[in-house]
Structure 1
Amino acid sequence: MLTISRNIAIDENELTFKFIRASGPGGQNVNKVASAVQLRFDVAHSPSLPGPVKNRLIKLAGRRISEEGVLVIEAKRFREQGKNRQDAIDRLVALVARALVVPRARKKTAPTKASKRRTVDEKVYRGRVKQRRGRVRGEE
């Protein structure tokens, strides 16, 4: 069980790990050892997450989530498979923890009379400045 908060935990049976060869430096080791990890978590069908958290998680995941609602996290920072596996799990936990935070609703506010007046005064001033940029009429 991955504990995210007091009331949310993800069962490890919901996670699928696929070990792949990592790109980048590492010599022959890169061609032989599958040290990179692809963690897959089906967000859309997970019984562990409440609906609003799922929606926020899908929005936060962005392009890491498929059309079917499967979150894919790739970890290839380390040269060891175990460390990459733990890194992927840690990133999933951090992402779900961010999705738990309910965003505050924006309070609609109206501009004050004074701010409206300042806006109009500034527009009038700018208009006059532009008017004065016209052709200069000299005495002929």
Structure 2
Amino acid sequence: MIQTSKHRDFYPEFIFQVSRSGGPGGQNVNKVSSKVELRFSIAESALLTPEEKTVLQEKLANRITNEGYLQIICQTERSQLANKEACVKKFYELLQKAFTRLKPRKATKPSKAIKEQRLQSKKHQSEKKATRLKLKPGDV
């Protein structure tokens, strides 16, 4: 059974890197390094079991770099601290989403009423289109 990630503290294994945020923002954006990049090595993590590591590498493959780091970038907030907190929150949400198992879909058949309704609709459409046809002299 996979333990929920809320009960584990991954913070010591995080690698944070800050840089200047892109986009509009006036003078502040040119002076302050508010963009935060969180990097987490899945393969080197001591808190994850081998089963959990394989699940993460499969489900989060598009977010993992060639070096094997899970990379999360936040630059929406004006302050570095807020972006850092947003990155950590996003990390835990990604873990939670990756570890939740989807319920298997139960196959169902359409009911008789739905089948009848579909056939009536098709019949109605057919009649509507038949009235649009031009009559030929021999059809009357």
TM normalised by structure 2 equals 0.69
- CA displacement at 1:56 relative to structure 2: 7.1
Structure 1 counterpart of 2:48: 48
Q: What is the 5 A alignment of 1:62-73?
A: 65-66=63-64, 68=66, 70-73=69-72
CA deviation after TM superposition for structure 1 residue 45, in Å? 6.1
- Paired positions, count: 129
The CA distance in 1 between the partners of 2:75 and 2:65, in whole Å, is 24
- C-alpha distance 25-100 of structure 1, shift in aligned 2 (>3 A): same
Contact 1:19–1:34, Cα closer than 8 Å, also in 2: yes
Q: Counterparts of 2:111 and 2:54 in 1: how far apart (Å)?
A: 36
1:85 is displaced (CA, Å) by: 1.8
Aligned-pair CA distance for 1:38? 0.6
Q: Which residue of 1 aligns with 2:33?
A: 34
Instruction: Report the CA distance shift for 1:67/1:120 in structure 2 as closer, same or farther (over 3 A).
Output: farther
Post-superposition shift, 1:34? 2.2
Deviation, 1:73, is 1.5
Give how far 1:106 is off: 1.2
Aligned to 2:96: 97
SS at match of 1:99: helix
- Gaps spanning 5+ residues in structure 2: where? none
- 5+ residue gaps, structure 1, are none
Q: Distance in 1 between the 2:44 and 2:132 partners?
A: 66
Deviation at 1:133, TM superposition (A): 0.8
The match for 2:5 is 4
CA deviation after TM superposition for structure 1 residue 39, in Å: 0.7
Deviations 1:68-122 (A, max 9, x none): 4533211223343333222211221122223332222211001123322332232
- C-alpha contact 2:16 2:38 (8 A) present in aligned 1: yes
